[in-house]
Amino acid sequence: MFRWKKLGLLFGPRQVTDRPWLKEFAQAPAVLLFDDFVRVYFSCRPPPDANGQYVSRSAFVDLNRANLFEVRGISERPILPLGGLGEFDEFGTYPVSVIRHGNEVRAYYAGWTRCESVPFNVAIGLAISTDGGETFAKAGRGPVISYSPDEPFVMSGPKIRRFGDGWYRWYIAGRKWKVVGGRPEPVYKIRLATSADGWRWTKVNRDLIVSRLEADEAQASPDVFEAGGRYHMFFCYRFSDDYRGKARGYRIGYAWSTNLLDWTRDDAQGGIDVSEAGWDSEMVSYPHVFTLDGKTYLAYLGNQVGRHGFGLAVRE
Amino acid sequence: MRWRKLGQIFDPTEHALPNGCAEFAQSPQALVFDDFVRIYFSTRARDAGGKYLSHVAFVDMKKNLRDVLRVSEKAVIPLGDLGCFDEHGIFPMNVLRHRGAVYGYTSGWSRRVSVSVETAIGLAVSRDGGITFERLGSGPIVAASLQEPYLVGDAFVKVVGEQFHMWYIFGTGWKRFSDGAPPDRTYKIGHASSRDGVSWQKEEAQQIIPDRLGPDESQALPTVIEIDQRLHMFFCYRQSFDFRKNRDRGYRIGHACSDDRVSWTRDDARPALDGTSGAWDSDMQCYPHVFECDGQVHLLYNGNEFGRRGFGLAVLDR
């Protein structure tokens, strides 16, 4: 059983006033450790356009390693340009997952495009930094992993990890678009692809986490780490409809595995839920676990999936 | 190569087609049976908003390729579900027999907001002799990738020995060629290979047929046949904008040949096939499909307006 002590909201868009592209939201935190600071990548949004539609950008905030609540700097500009006309990431780059590889930092990110019959589609791209994660160049103009018969759309939320010699990328893949009150809502499940080099990927091609709420439960943010001789996954899940409020909105789930492929879901072991009041009183989502100087932390989103930013908890 | 033109052989407006389709019989693709030839094509209905939806249908013809025996009575393959790659149309579908089944390689269309469409290649299999097809899954088997960012389609598949070969097209860019014009796309012909026909390795943005009209040439619908130990590819090509009504910039049939399946020599400076003045193919020739039947090589193709009034036939004089 994990036990977490909540430390409160760590970073939010209200702390920033001079970057118009970082006006709302700070979503999907992902950490890269440096000697004396912690870089947290996240996704944010400029104000919506005249039609009320958003684009998502991605950026980072550097936190003092000795005191994570002290901001040392914020990226001057988004780390990735939006894609060109007709490209998969023309209308958003969100979320981002980073990993060091030699002198590179590789970022796997989800790119958003807009569709006619459904609001969007999402695919996973790759960008590479050679300056320690300050700036990234896209590896190509298309996605690094394609849709396939059983993963037909909405491939999103990549989480890149290395265990042993292997590259592992957890992500989500859309199962269906469910029309709720005339509005298409995506149902997605947690999936895995493996690779020897981070470029050519083989899909495991099955759902890793059983659904608990309902068959159409949506699952996201599969965040995996190793501790105590086991692999642990924190993720989030919600109902397929009417999920924008407290009752049916995102919660954080938990599963464990000994081989990275077969997972036992046991949400009660995760040990984190909504608060009585405050910024995370209605939902908790997009968990990211990292270890720093002997402590294990959980970064996560609260109400309205990160509109107010992300918070932090420490393992007791 | 000398083609003897036999004229238009099928007009969709003369038949009752499934799904309420009234016009267009595009990209004819043949499946030869003992005593007839089934020709699949894509035809169009309109949705509630007035936009086109392409559906696959077929016509069975006597082997003289003149007499119509029947047209498909029901949907050959339904369109994809909400949000799927083939929700708004299947055009074209390439068919071949493999291990007692008929494989249909589909090009699925789904509508976008900033550009008109995205496409990808799906696979559906028929176990009733090609009357109906069932998808492998709701997603594509070949789709956009790192160096081929969009518009993967127009598969033509051929099995040689143990190897599947696919010639297909990939988009190289969307561009507004004049102020206020909607974006137009450009695509080129590429090649992929597979051991099972399901899992494919693309060569990733390797254009195999050189441009003749320059970088803004769009190449479409490759079809490949072996004649006298040499591979021949037919395809169609056009300028990437102002190609719909301007006959000087519209589709023509192109040709290339290869002795090793890898390097292709293009030799269509003189057109492989000419339009006939005043006839159904006077302004445009497109969407070729080459097949052999009873020792003769046949070329099916569309004429004016991208096949609004059907397709025609030419026979190779050897």
Answer for the pair A234, A289: CB distance below 8 angstroms, yes or no: yes
Q: Which two tokens stand for residue B95?
A: 């068919």
**CB proximity A48 to B under 8 Å:** no
Residue of A nearest to B112 (CA): A115
Position B198 pLDDT exceeds 90: yes
Which residues have a Cβ under 8 Å from the Cβ of B275 and sit 6 or more positions away?
Answer: B281, B282, B283, B284, B285, B303
What is residue B101's predicted lDDT score, i.e. its pLDDT? 97
Interface ipTM above 0.90: yes
Query: Element (H or E) spanning B304, and its range?
Result: helix B304-307
Position B151 pLDDT exceeds 90: yes
What is residue B318's predicted lDDT score, i.e. its pLDDT? 79
Q: Do A115 and B147 touch (CB under 8 A)?
A: no
CA distance B59 to A260: 51
Which residues have a Cβ under 8 Å from the Cβ of A160 and sit 6 or more positions away?
Answer: A97, A98, A99, A106, A108, A167, A168, A169, A198
Task: Work out the pLDDT band at B271, boundaries 50, 70, 90.
Answer: confident
CA distance A58 to A81: 9
Q: Which of B88, B140, B147 sits opposite A140 (nearest CB)?
A: B147
Q: Do B140 and A184 touch (CB under 8 A)?
A: no
Answer for the pair A128, A197: CB distance below 8 angstroms, yes or no: no
Q: Which of B111, B137, B145 sits opposite A117 (nearest CB)?
A: B111
Which chain A positions have a beta carbon within 8 Å of B141's beta carbon?
Answer: 148-149
**CB proximity A82 to B under 8 Å:** no
Tell whether the torsion through CA atoms of B236, B239, B245 and B250 is positive or negative.
negative
Which chain B positions have a beta carbon within 8 Å of A143's beta carbon?
Answer: 144-146, 149
Q: Do A115 and B82 touch (CB under 8 A)?
A: no
Q: How many CB atoms lie within 10 A of CB A182?
A: 5
DSSP string covering A227-282, please?
A: ETTEEEEEEEEE-SSS-SSTTTS-EEEEEEESSSSS-EE-GGGT-----SSSTTSS
Which chain A positions have a beta carbon within 8 Å of B81's beta carbon?
Answer: 176-177
CA distance B47 to B58: 21
The separation between the first and the last C-alpha atoms of chain A, rounded to the nearest angstrom, is: 11
Answer for the pair A238, A248: CB distance below 8 angstroms, yes or no: yes
The whole-number average pLDDT for the span B175-191 is 96
pLDDT averaged over 10-residue windows placed end to end, chain A, 316 residues: 96 94 96 98 96 96 98 97 98 98 97 98 98 97 97 98 97 97 96 96 98 98 97 98 94 98 98 96 97 97 95 97
Q: Do A86 and B138 touch (CB under 8 A)?
A: no
Q: How many CB atoms lie within 10 A of CB A262?
A: 10
What is residue B272's predicted lDDT score, i.e. its pLDDT? 79
Q: Which two tokens stand for residue A125?
A: 């791209």
Residue with tokens 């989103």: A301
What is residue A14's predicted lDDT score, i.e. its pLDDT? 92
Spatial CA neighbour of A135 closest among A78, A209, A85:
A78
Query: Element (H or E) spanning B306, and its range?
Result: helix B304-307
Interface probe with B: pick from A115, A124, A178, most Cβ of B within 10 Å: A115
Q: Do B144 and A123 touch (CB under 8 A)?
A: yes
Q: Do B183 and A184 touch (CB under 8 A)?
A: no
- Per-position b or e across B182-220, b if 16+ CB within 10 A of its CB: ebbbbbbbbbbebeebeebebeebebbbeeeeeebbbbb
Task: Work out the pLDDT band at B270, boundaries 50, 70, 90.
Answer: confident
Q: Which two tokens stand for residue A199?
A: 């470029």
State pLDDT tens for residues B85-112.
999 999 999 999 999 999 999 999 999 9
Q: What is the least distance, in Å, from the CA of A126 to any CA of chain B?
A: 8
CA distance A60 to A113: 23
Q: What is the least distance, in Å, from the CA of A224 to any CA of chain B?
A: 26
Q: Do B139 and A123 touch (CB under 8 A)?
A: no
- What DSSP state is assigned to residue A115? B
Q: Do A151 and B142 touch (CB under 8 A)?
A: no
Answer for the pair A300, A284: CB distance below 8 angstroms, yes or no: yes
Q: Do A87 and B82 touch (CB under 8 A)?
A: no
State pLDDT tens for residues B34-67.
999 999 999 999 999 999 999 999 999 999 999 9
Q: Do A149 and B185 touch (CB under 8 A)?
A: no
CA distance A143 to B258: 32
Residue with tokens 């695919």: A123
% of chain B with per-residue pLDDT over 90: 97
What is residue A260's predicted lDDT score, i.e. its pLDDT? 97
